[in-house]
Amino acid sequence: MVLSYTQAGSLGYELLPGKARRYRIIQTGGTISYNAFRRLAAGHSSGAASKMRRFEQILAQSNDLEVARRESGLSGRQFEQYRRSFENRESASPFVKEHGRWTFRGARGFQHAFLNAEGNETRATFSGRNLIAMQDYRAAVSDRSQAHLDTWAEAHANGVTDDNGQVHQPETQLSRIDAVLRRMGKRQRTRFHQQQFYVTA
């Protein structure tokens, strides 16, 4: 299964040329193997993705792994796909490898400050893959890359869900972000920039 350029791009990856068939992570420049990408892509199928979203929401609110697995209906294979999705972003992972075994260390929620699509300052706590999404958004804004923001917006067209289950639509047009920041007072703008890098929830 080799996904088209557009399909891979919507997940934040691109297929590298050559026989090895490796995928590059657009935001970080790192690469993953063809098989690792297949597992990740399978985890984004509609049925599995719905279960994983439910699993993450319950986990963020309860911090109880067994409750989250039971109430979301996540299968053993889907759970393993979810754990593997953090292979390149271990700092956001609710799992840690100790003595050769993966153990649950708890949902790792961090508060992000950002501008929403209405141009309002917003603060919300994210964990799991939603945390990764917001870290990638923050990186694209900090890099002042409209291309990265466009790619991010395509991959997260339905928004990003915080740990309370609320869906957010961050602003992805640099010109609009700059316009809001210019209207802020110096103290407000400084505080906002500081809080982008972040307050632990």
Is 116 buried (19+), middle (13-18) or exposed (0-12) by CB count in 10 A? middle
Give the DSSP per-residue string, 17-84. Answer: SSTT--EEETTT--EE-HHHHHHHHHTTSHHHHHHHHHHHHHHHHH--HHHHHHHHT--HHHHHHHHH
pLDDT at position 2: 46
Joined tokens for residue 122 = 């917003």
pLDDT tens digits, one per residue of 96-120: 988 888 899 998 889 999 999 999 9
How many Å is the Cα radius of gyration of the chain? 17
Phi and psi for 5 in degrees, rounded to 5? -55, -45
97 phi and psi angles, rounded to 5 deg: -90, 120
The pLDDT tens digits of the residues spanning 37-66 come to 776 666 555 566 788 888 999 999 999 999
What is the model's pLDDT at position 52? 85
Residue type present at position 155? A
